[in-house]
Amino acid sequence: MRAEDFVSTALDPARSVVVEACAGSGKTWLLVSRMLRILLAGARPGDILAITYTRKAAREIGQRLRDWLRELASADDATAVAFLMERGLDEAAARAALPAARGLIERVEQASPGMTITTFHGWFTRILNGATLSSGMAGYALADAERPLMDEAWAMLSRRCELEPDGPEAQALTALFGGFGMLNTRALLEQFVARRAEWSVFAAGEPLDTVIARIGDALGATSDEHALAHFFAAPALDDKLHAYAALLGRNTAKDETLATRLIDALALTDDGARFEALVPVMLTTEGQPRARKPAAAQAKRLGEAGEAELLALHAELCERVQACLDARTEVRVMAFNAAGLRAGCALLEAFEALKRTRRVMDFADLEIHVDRLLTDEAQGPYLQARLDARYRHILLDEFQDTNPVQWRILLAWLGAYDADAWRPSMFLVGDPKQSIYRFRRADARIFQHAAHWLGERFDAVRLPNDQTWRNAPPIVDVVNAVFADAPEFVGFSAQTARRATRPGQVLLAPLVEAPSAVVDHAAPGGLRDPLTTPAPVAESLARSEEAGVMVAQLQAWFGRLMVGEGEARRPMHWGDVLILTRKRGILPEYERALREAGVPYVSVSRGQLLTTLEAADLGALLEFLVAPGNDLALAHVLRTPVFAASDELLIDIARHGDGHWWQRLRRLAASPSIHAPDARRAVAWLGNWMQLARRLPVHDLLDHIYHEADVPGAYQARVPPAMWPGVCANLEAFLALALNVDGGRFPSLPRFVDELRRLGSAGDEEAPDEGTLAESGGEGRVRIMTIHGAKGLEAPVVWMIDANNTRQQPDNYQPVMDWPVGAPAPTHFSLHATKALRGRARAHVFEADEAAARREALNLLYVAITRAEQCFVASGSVGNGKQLSDYGRIAQALERLGSPDGHGAMEVCAAPAACVAAPVSPESVPPCAAPVGTRVEVADDAEGRAFGTAMHALIEARTTPGAVAPTSVPAAIRAAADAILGAPDLQRFFDPAHFESAYNEVEIVRTDGRLGRIDRLVVFADEVWVLDYKSGQADAAQLAGYREQLRSYATALDGLFGARPVRGLLVFPDGTRQPL
């Protein structure tokens, strides 16, 4: 299909469409363009429901649409027509739609209800808010944090078990703790609680005992005694075992030993003991049948008939033994599941009780309650009618990340439409190749099922798009070579690069191999000082070597490797580099190498603020201010750049008497010691801050500390220049945290410190992020991210580390589930502990799960490679794994392309001077904002400000219908207001007969994010005016600032009123006018 036909079909508002698009193909562009076309076709903004995967993506979609609508409102006709033609309209249709297109921004901004652009969970919240009172969902809020609630739920369950030690829940927990340990048990039950939405659908409201019995039937579990009795009841089993023992006794010496063991086993009377003794005769320690095959020497010993009998008996008896072992394993699996589900449901009950008490719910609750309401015979029709009446156009973004419960909810709504009735238009877009969130319950199979279902029920057209705007041709060549022939990568189609001339390259750094190093740090006497010398450990240096190779290559490319193309071509900066990893745990070695080389970086951007050194320093300071007896916190504070205490000073503190260190520090300050001046400064600041902590909110306290101690300046003086922008951003982010955490509800310092402790151990979604670095004018920072975290991002240079590692942690201690795609509920749900407790009845579930894991591993590699715009590098260390690694797959692809040393090429200048007009100096690094707390001295003109404020208030009162003008106003102020309101040239701005609408004191957010206030905004039929009153005279020195302020107001309003131009006017009482 031609690109023009693809776009016109995909964006046709009257069609339902399913788009399967590769990475970098412009899926977001397509989705937002369709929203624009829907609006252009006359739909109300409130008719549109757009669902995407993250709140950030939802914000970006809304912002991009508004930016486009502003552009349409203000662009010249030729530009606007071209814009619409890019989105599927022919020239005639584009020109005809132009008037409506220019007014879309006004329609969207004034619409009530507005467009719904949200996530699945955001939409579910809206549904519950609209449910009837009888649903019981009124008054609930989304929980700020789940971890504290879970900890409280464990405490509740523990108290309950203490009160009822013989109860079923206590016995279940005791069995789990005894068999699997506390940590594994907690992990298992918390994973069960996390999958409670699927459990709710599977259980379908049945009693727990009934569900457990249903699972037992599926496993075929009976009892250990029954399994043994069934084994020994086999016909002629005893004769066969004796015959087998006789044949073994005539065979090899090893078999003679086995025969003796078998005869001894048969002499036992207890079935359990007898069977346990039989097993090692038949099976290896790995549980596999002992190897036996025909052999000439064996036939000579036993005769041909004897050999045949031995092999037949061996096969039959091994099969029976394995069947009995499997039956006994299923009994153990069932016992584990019965205990796990009983304890899990008890924990879930406590968790739910806490949330009901506090009227909160989390994301899983949203899914459970919306699913319950939509499938309820009483509530379902009401909610479906509300949804039908509200939404006419549904757009689903990143659909490959949808989970089965979310799809079940959609089906409950969409499946209610009759085939011959009106149905909303559907637009579904995604890429199963980028489905990498299985740990969040996403099921990539749903995409293809949904596409087929929408084709049957909504006549949806399926449109593939395998053309990428992002990746250079060499990147695309390698992607095709890696995945085209991969058997697990079903559904892959060869991709093509839209930017055919963009230079690019794919390289493999040589695998490194470093010997394990053990360094003996013991002193000559044989003893080691544990305070100064680490214990000797065997540490593999492979990752350190790999990190060194990576850093050396990046440094060689910095300022030399040319990225971009055409006029945008430029040398590589640090901000152009994205380092990707599958696992976070390996990052310290790579971060250390970057840090030692002075390369600025930000590592795993989500949830890492409190792990930075500067945040830890500030946290220790607050800990000390709360508890002055905390010696460790004080020592930490004194070693920060703010105080920069030496080892000698700390030793001197320790020597000054008894008591805690705060007392000793004050004694040192009063002593004649050479360290007394530094101690006095520390005592003065810390003592003052302790007093302020009792009466100032946390943010104001930190503001004062930053100002008094010049915290930013202290850090800037002591960190490498390359690291300073990141440190500065984190200092500012920590200050902002005092206002952002829970809406600033922590005026008490102890409560804020407690919240910091909690956030420090919270998950990534909840923990605060590192500070945002302003990239303008500098080289930025190298980003280090997991592949999961980098989804949706791109960079000119991508380096994948540890790419030759094939080791995977087993998915133990969690629920396993079989939910056939399209089925209304799971057909199987149970708990899994370890490989030894898998059993055969669930083999198909584990096989399907392992196949999904293998496919997701390939998806992760696809996502990693396709983040690279131009340059992709993979590195790793020599490994012993038998599985094909990501590095190995790329190496094979390069071999197939005939370029084993690398595919493609990019220009690398001989020296930075050949590429950069001016060398980058440390001064070019963007400075930190003025230290927080720095006070700017302003000339005191209180009289002038009071005059201006009074004049503005009087004009506002006299031009606002129904307002009462103040009576006791000085004559000079009244004269100034009269001069403005009575001026003949200004009557058109105050007489309602001349304008459509007018507004006084309009608050507005300017394009730079600052708040502004417009004195008077007047809307005419063909233009918009902004009036800015000035109470003084037109001082030439201030006029430029006034005009710039007025221009910022006009720029912020541009496009809000369609094609009408925005004009500005400075108004002075003396008759001076300054138009803009």
The DSSP letter of residue 810 is -
Tell me: cis bond preceding 113? Omega within 30 of 0 counts. yes
In Å, what is the CA distance from 950 to each residue of 515, 873, 954, 967?
A: 80, 66, 6, 12
CB 925 within 8 Å of CB 725: yes
Cβ atoms of 831 and 344 closer than 8 Å: yes
Give whole-number Cα distances, 42 to 33, 118, 370, 424, in Å.
15, 22, 31, 15
Find out whether 28 is annotated in a ligand binding site: yes
CA 358/CA 354 separation, integer angstroms: 6
Distance CA 452, CA 951 (A): 68
Secondary structure of residue 801 in the 3-state scheme: coil
Which of 457, 462, 391 has the alpha carbon at shortest distance from 51? 391
1000: Cβ contacts below 8 Å, ≥ 6 apart: 955, 956, 959, 960, 1015, 1016
Distance CA 709, CA 781 (A): 27
The rounded Cα 423 to chain-centroid distance in angstroms is 34
Contact 326, 842 (CB under 8 A): no
DSSP string, 27-52: HHHHHHHHHHHHHHTT--GGGEEEEE
Helices (H), 417-532: 445-457, 473-483
26 is in an annotated binding site: yes
Residue for token pair 């530094």: 678
DSSP label at residue 146: S
Tokens read off for 86: 């890019």
CA dist list (Å): 573 to 563, 604, 650, 776, 932:
9, 19, 41, 12, 29
Whole-angstrom Cα distance, residue 92 to residue 1005? 37
**Which residues fall within 8 angstroms of residue 1051, CB to CB, at 6 or more apart?**
1006, 1007
Q: Are 472 and 443 in contact (CB under 8 A)?
A: no
Is 928 within any annotated ligand binding site?
Answer: no
The span from the CA of 246 to the CA of 310, in Å, is 9
21 among the known binding-site residues? Answer: yes
Residue 260, annotated as binding a ligand: no
**Token reading at 997:** 């609408």
Helix axes 676-693, 698-708, angle to 10 degrees: 160
What the block records as the tokens of 306 is: 């004897």
CA proximity to 778, closest of 719, 712, 713, 724: 724
Nearest to 619 by CA among 773, 749, 444, 796: 749
**795-800 and 868-874 strand pairing:** parallel
Which residue type, as a one-letter code, is found at position 710? D
DSSP string, 728-763: HHHHHHHHHHHHHGGGG---SHHHHHHHHHHHHTS-
Q: Is 27 annotated as a binding residue?
A: yes
951-986 exposure pattern, b = at least 16 Cβ within 10 A, e = fewer: bbbbbbbbbeeeeeeeeebeeebeebbebbeeeeeb
Locus of tokens 């992607």: 479
Which are the contacts of 973, defined by CB distance < 8 A and separation ≥ 6? 947, 950, 951, 954
Which residues are annotated binding-site positions for ATP? 21-28
Which residues are annotated binding-site positions? 21-28
